[in-house]
Amino acid sequence: MVIVDRFSKMAHFIPVKSIPSATKTAHLFIKNVFSLHGLPETITTDRGTQFTSRFWSAFCKCLHIQNNLSTAFHPQTNGQTERVNGVLEQYLRCFITHLQNDWIQYLPIAEFTYNNQKHSSTGMSPFFVNHGRHPIMLPGSPILGDVPSTNERIRNILDVYKTVHAVLLRAQYRYKTFADRRRCPAPVYKVGGKAWLSTRHLKVEYPSKKLGLRYIGPFPIIQVVSSSAIKLLLPVSYKIHPVFHVSLLKPAYDDPFPGRLPCKPGPISMSDEETYEIKEILDSRLRRGRLEYLIRWKGYGSQDDSWIPAVEVSAPRLIRRFHQLHPSRPQRGRLVGGFCHVPLLASAALPVADWTPGNSWAPRSVHAEETL
């Protein structure tokens, strides 16, 4: 677990065996943060289950701490912690490769070295910002004693410190250079406008996500949370957090034909029920033993595609055409005389036999369209 102070940039590296629960996270917070620095005003975390739980929300509320969650699918919202994670990973990778030793025992040295480095945004080390003084450093030439094990331990600590110092400097420079190279001004979004949403982190119902839509929508913008976070009006069926980073959005520009009315068609009234017209059947699946079809509705975009039980789809021609084009997809067989007969392609040849006047069977073939 990595904890970074937004003001001083001081970091604490806490080893854990697995992802801690909300209760364990609160215990680690009291032990490693509160005992050293007191309570913070705000905490910015990722959207892990331990931070979205009711326990953690109640814990922060009782301590008068504002709990801020990162933007959906965009860990860069908590960017400084993500950068520290990358630097720490490079440090650990270095020791795992060369020392082949237990990396946990080197975390305190890595934490001390990181907090004693001059930070680019403040021009001072986190230790100096937090304490108002520089720490007492390790001696460059320590006085060795008569105990060999002690001398070996001191030499090992000095070697680790020098290696960590070089690795952290190189990693910080590399991360800053790479981030500046890819950074560009974000578009300006306004309430009342619309934006396309990237499908990069969405579970899209396509056989191949590589060939699927890269953006869906457009969706109305209902709030500009900040210059880098936008809140969209999403369908209830999406069940995701509606605030997204601007890197996952693309502005929807005005219609080049302003006189055109791209209104969505209303439902077709049949027997006092509202029924929407089906444009195309995109896919089929078996869900808990029940056949369902993925429907594209006429006049609606891909964001409104929905899975409908086969018994509720009244479009035999579209169903037949879909299975002719995709015979390997799940389909509903029909039970005749104790046998399950599955519809065949129109071009398929069926072996049959006719009873001739000579009291014999004459085999021949017919095509499936003769039986449909």
Supply the CATH number for residue 287's domain: 2.40.50.40
pLDDT at 190: 87
pLDDT at 317: 87
Q: Which of 105, 118, 169 is nearest to 127 (CA)?
A: 118
Same domain? For 210 and 74 the reply is no
Q: Within a domain: residue 142?
A: no
Q: Within a domain: residue 344?
A: yes
pLDDT tens for the chain, residues 1 to 372: 888 888 788 889 888 888 888 899 999 999 988 988 889 888 888 778 888 888 988 999 999 998 887 765 555 545 566 677 777 777 666 655 444 456 777 788 778 888 887 777 677 888 888 877 888 776 655 555 566 667 676 676 677 667 666 766 666 666 556 555 656 667 788 898 899 888 877 766 666 666 667 888 888 999 888 777 888 988 877 777 788 888 888 888 766 665 565 555 444 333 344 456 788 899 999 888 889 999 888 777 777 788 888 887 878 888 989 998 888 888 876 433 334 444 444 444 545 555 555 555 555 544 444 444
Q: Within a domain: residue 268?
A: no
Q: Within a domain: residue 78?
A: yes
Say which residues have a Cβ less than 8 Å from residue 172's Cβ, sequence separation at least 6.
87, 117, 120
pLDDT at 118: 78
pLDDT at 270: 36
Q: How far is CA 203 from CA 46, 206, 213, 221, in A?
A: 20, 9, 12, 22
Same domain? For 314 and 341 the reply is no
Same domain? For 11 and 120 the reply is yes
Among 125, 160, 182, the domain-final residue is 182
Same domain? For 158 and 290 the reply is no
Same domain? For 20 and 81 the reply is yes
Task: Report pTM.
Answer: 0.44
Q: How far is CA 317 from CA 274, 302, 364, 372, in A?
A: 21, 21, 28, 11
Q: What's the structural domain count of the chain? A: 4
Q: Within a domain: residue 115?
A: yes
pLDDT at 260: 60
**Does an H or E element contain 178, and which?**
helix 148-182
Question: In whole angstroms, what is the distance from residue 4 CA to residue 13 CA?
Answer: 9
Question: In whole angstroms, what is the distance from residue 1 CA to residue 50 CA?
Answer: 13
Q: Within a domain: residue 351?
A: yes
pLDDT tens for residues 232-252? 988 877 777 788 888 888 888
Same domain? For 37 and 167 the reply is yes
Q: Within a domain: residue 319?
A: yes
Same domain? For 232 and 321 the reply is no
Same domain? For 129 and 86 the reply is yes
pLDDT at 28: 92
Same domain? For 177 and 198 the reply is no
Measured CA angle at 192 (ends 190, 197), to 5 deg? 75
Same domain? For 342 and 323 the reply is no
CATH at 17: 3.30.420.10
Q: Are 2 and 81 spatial neighbours (Cβ–Cβ below 8 Å)?
A: yes
Q: What is residue 179's DSSP assignment?
A: H
Same domain? For 208 and 127 the reply is no
Q: Within a domain: residue 264?
A: no
Same domain? For 317 and 339 the reply is no
Provide the domain limits for residue 226.
Answer: 194-251
